[in-house]
Structure 1
């Protein structure tokens, strides 16, 4: 018995030592992933970026939920999902996805334009489905997302004409889906943020429909070559958008140089930004599009448009899409939802003077939870790829596995 006890004690010591070593390796890996030339990342951001950039997680979210789905609000609002087609210019038809609450309504309407660099293969309705569902649930609104035609087969202005036509369709057919066509907002992320604000200009220039508000998530606002520090600093692609993709988008969506100067491609340089709907502009610290988004918010304000602008520290391009795993993403989505709710109920309040609000990474208990989850995810990743850690190099702020 004594001999058996000694064996068990030695085994316990060995297992404890192995676990301790694994925890040390996990802590060292997270510290390595957090350290970049562009700045130190929060643990959760670092782990998520490492997983994405090394193809350690499956980002294909082409999940087909049942026709009746449940929203993610605390109340679990039941939503009706519909996929259908609408006609656009040139006798073409484009897919549309709609989420709407059950009930009599009428409900406010949100036109959501997905990001994806204006090009095939970079984004669509399925990659943004989680945002569409959550918006409908959080705002008790009808969310309509048109799959506008994409480059290279369809260059400017196909995407914006499709998007504006979808807005007109929603306005004309609101009664059929229990929508309120007197309360329509537009929203989009990245390239979709560009489209959302351009559609706002088109509605102004073409006598409607009236738009209650515009929400722009890390929008691309110029195709012109102007000095933008964020494009230079965060251009590697590690932060989910590279300079090469931006140039490719410009070459395919706007292949002729005159297009780069058009106010419907580069709203940052538009001569007239007056009489546009109240705007919320969200940007991310580690994002090549950060500076142009913030400059556009300031230009809107200078043109007399009521604007709220927030920069979220410690996160990358597209962070709101990761709201299910990142607290900062949830915070951004909640700010957007609150803004839309206020706009739809005529309760927006703005500061007397424009000011960019800088949102800090999660603090207190939220920070503890984020770090704990980050280490848990890191441990899982190392469990899958532990041997690769020994051949990892950290170059120009990103991790490369040889």
Structure 2
């Protein structure tokens, strides 16, 4: 006969699994447990991204990768209108002739949605896993600074990095642009500007779930995953469009809508990552096809089971870590002149974690669910206490 404590434990596990199952069930399909738990935590404001999802100790402060020690340094980059924009650099100490990655953060082109601070974990990971110098560029944001200020700042930052490359310990011949979401847009647009203006020759562009058009196109994933449950809502997309490009004519500029208005020919090789549950998935993959059609080497991977912004959660979501590694593997092959296979181009679908990794993800998801349920209970208790105290105070008065 089972003991009472064992029966209680079994009952708790069943209840816990029912919660996770409920969070996983959506009108668009069943989410993996880890994705569902992360989304539940964020959508219910139980955790704040980049604040409570803290990185491991080996990715904080001055760290090392193998025998390489890194430093973090705040910079101010001069731009063409005489202003200075902030930047943050991670680089191996004592490095010479290293690749330089210019990283443009996501965040809908608007103040309050993203910065060099919110995306610092991605920048650290790129630097420490590649032994490259990675500079996160704090381009100016709407509503105070509308298009083309962000793209002008970003191109000026590229020119500055090229100019300062040797002093930084980097190579002028190994410069890469990278970015996620809005930053993915800016990264590929910066590559277009470099080509059009005879600027630095770039070796690659790493684009993570990029926004590629401001036109109101009827795309399946824009409509299917635009509720906001998957971190990016139609409301935010429309706000970004109206704030960053308040004039409709702006949206016809190739430096705003590279998918529909831009010419891809002679752009550097591209790595494009898209997410299964992302309103930007279709336009990112259409851009991959556009690059391929115009003879730009491109590798495109759709990561299954994850949502927009998943790279920011790479410390707790294995798929985010895989995407970083895949992009750097692409970069390594590109820098070493290994030819990319473009014949019969297709979007590669990278499946969800399996085997031991899948077991670990499921275990971590359920442990995280325990923590979240505790936060739920704490919040309700605090609300009850506050309500009770207010009621008692009202009686006393």
Query: Could you state the TM-score of these two structures normalised by the residue count of structure 2?
Result: 0.91
Structure 2 partner of 1:139: 130
Per the TM alignment, residue 335 of structure 1 is displaced from its structure 2 partner at its CA by: 0.4
RMSD: 2.1
Q: Do the aligned partners of 2:297 and 2:340 also contact (CA within 8 Å) in 1?
A: no
**1:195 pairs with one of 155, 165, 186:** 186
Structure 2 partner of 1:382: 373
Q: Do the aligned partners of 1:82 and 1:97 also contact (CA within 8 Å) in 2?
A: yes
**2:106 pairs with one of 78, 95, 115:** 115
Per the TM alignment, residue 21 of structure 1 is displaced from its structure 2 partner at its CA by: 2.3
Structure 2 partner of 1:20: 10
1:189-228 matches, within 5 Å, as 189-228=180-219
Q: Do the aligned partners of 2:95 and 2:170 also contact (CA within 8 Å) in 1?
A: no
> Is 2:310 aligned against 1:319?
yes
Please identify, of 183-192 and 104-113, the stretch whose mean Cα deviation from structure 2 is larger: 104-113
> 1: distance between equivalents of 2:221 and 2:146?
27
Per the TM alignment, residue 58 of structure 1 is displaced from its structure 2 partner at its CA by: 3.0
The CA deviation string for residues 56-83 of structure 1, in whole angstroms up to 9 with x for no partner, is: 1132439899995115x5x274211110
**1:182 pairs with one of 156, 173, 178:** 173
Structure 2 partner of 1:282: 273
Structure 1 partner of 2:241: 250
Structure 2 partner of 1:397: none
> Is 2:261 aligned against 1:267?
no
> 1: distance between equivalents of 2:46 and 2:242?
31
Structure 2 partner of 1:58: 48
Structure 2 partner of 1:87: 78
Query: Could you state the TM-score of these two structures normalised by the residue count of structure 1?
Result: 0.90
> 2: distance between equivalents of 1:152 and 1:104?
39
Per the TM alignment, residue 342 of structure 1 is displaced from its structure 2 partner at its CA by: 1.9
Structure 2 partner of 1:392: none
Structure 2 partner of 1:37: 27
Per the TM alignment, residue 321 of structure 1 is displaced from its structure 2 partner at its CA by: 1.1
The CA deviation string for residues 176-218 of structure 1, in whole angstroms up to 9 with x for no partner, is: 1101011101000000000000001000000021000001000
> 1: distance between equivalents of 2:60 and 2:278?
35
Structure 2 partner of 1:49: 39
C-alpha distance 104-218 of structure 1, shift in aligned 2 (>3 A): closer
Structure 1 spans left out of the alignment, 5+ residues: 1-8, 390-402
Moved over 4 A (4+): 62-68, 386-389
> Between Structure 1 and Structure 2, how many residues are aligned?
377
> 2: distance between equivalents of 1:365 and 1:207?
49
> Is 2:92 aligned against 1:96?
no
> 1: distance between equivalents of 2:12 and 2:376?
13
